[in-house]
Amino acid sequence: MASTRLVQVADGRTLAVESWGDPEGRPVFLLHGTPGSRVGPSPRSSVLYRLGVHLISFDRPGYGESTRLPGRRVASAAADVEAIADALGIDGFAVLGRSGGGPHALACAALLGGRVRRAAVLVSLAPRNAEGLDWYAGMTASNERAYHEAELGPHRFAASFQAKSRRMKADPAAVIDGLVPELPPTDRVVVTDSGIRRRLLSTYAAAFHYSADGWIDDALAFTTDWGFKVEDITVPVRLWHGADDQFSPVEHSRWLAEHIPGAELYLEPGAAHFGALAVLTEALRWAAG
């Protein structure tokens, strides 16, 4: 059974935290996608028990039940994860980030190296200022448009994101259906699976329970300086990317693999962005060590 609690951090904000699996197991923080929430896709509790894993997820600031942190950077996730770990009495832990959670998992690996044992990162973006990377190359039109809007500043695109969030809250299924024309065939198969579709609907509904603030702040954070350098990561990192991904183009993970010391990169031919859901359990097994 999942366990939910609210954790208050030093600046007075509240973070909504969910945990599954074996409470005595090896702790792993799951950093959700963009947009997303603490109730996003994850292995079942029975699987987590078999793996001996205590899985912990939380709504990033501005999503779901967590207080917004205006102007947050990707690096801000490290302090929030550390605060949750302290509140739960956890010393060392691993991190697993999927999609928009990838950069935030890397922040933990870079800034909490004394506590983070391993970092598994699936279909992540690279830093916007990544030298030698054409950041938008191969990216689907809707994502390119959204990030271009974010680079114009919060006042230029917040209204459009708020309007999108209201539509998503009113009819999450329509949002998934709207993605289908841009999805490669392998991703279309994934998102039409009834179990995965239910989890995606749940996470979108929870993410936009109050507003689109979390989504807005994620986009701003991804397109500005992250607040740390991936070259400073010293813990083991495993990257996975579907070779046909167009939401987070595969060249982003190739760039990360070249710049994170000792990072392992697994490219899966024929898989795309949502193919990361199929490898969550194996990524979790590796992260837990």
Confidence tier at 169 by pLDDT (50, 70, 90): confident
Calpha distance 232→218 (Å, rounded): 22
Instruction: Report, as an integer, the average pLDDT of 54-62.
Output: 98
Helix residue ranges, H only, the chain: 45-51, 76-87, 101-111, 141-151, 154-170, 172-179, 185-191, 194-207, 213-222, 250-259, 280-288
Radius of gyration over every alpha carbon of the chain, rounded to an integer in angstroms: 17
pLDDT at res. 163: 80
SS (H, E, C) 189-249: HHHCCHHHHHHHHHHHHHHCCCCCHHHHHHHHHHCCCCCCCHHHCCCCEEEEEECCCCCCC
Calpha distance 63→51 (Å, rounded): 29
Confidence tier at 1 by pLDDT (50, 70, 90): low
**In the chain, what are the domains?**
3-288 (3.40.50.1820)
Tokens representing 123? 């279909």
Q: Roughly how many angstroms between the first and final C-alpha of the chain, as a whole number?
A: 23
Tokens representing 228? 């740390």
* Residue labelled with tokens 């995965």: 196
Res. 49: pLDDT tops 80: yes
- The per-residue pLDDT for range 261-272, each reduced to its tens digit, is 999 999 999 999
Res. 172: pLDDT tops 80: no
Calpha distance 139→94 (Å, rounded): 29
Confidence tier at 173 by pLDDT (50, 70, 90): confident
Calpha distance 107→79 (Å, rounded): 9
Res. 221: pLDDT tops 80: yes
Tokens representing 242? 């579907």
Confidence tier at 157 by pLDDT (50, 70, 90): confident
Give the start-end residues of each E strand in 33-99. Answer: 53-58, 93-98
- Range in 55-64, 109-118, 143-152, 277-286 with the lowest mean pLDDT: 143-152
Calpha distance 22→152 (Å, rounded): 45
φ, ψ for residue 112, nearest 5 deg:
-120, 40
Confidence tier at 3 by pLDDT (50, 70, 90): confident
Amino acid at 65: E
Contacts of 57 (CB under 8 A, 6+ apart): 17, 18, 19, 29, 30, 31, 32, 38, 39, 40, 42
- The per-residue pLDDT for range 134-145, each reduced to its tens digit, is 999 999 998 998
Res. 218: pLDDT tops 70: yes
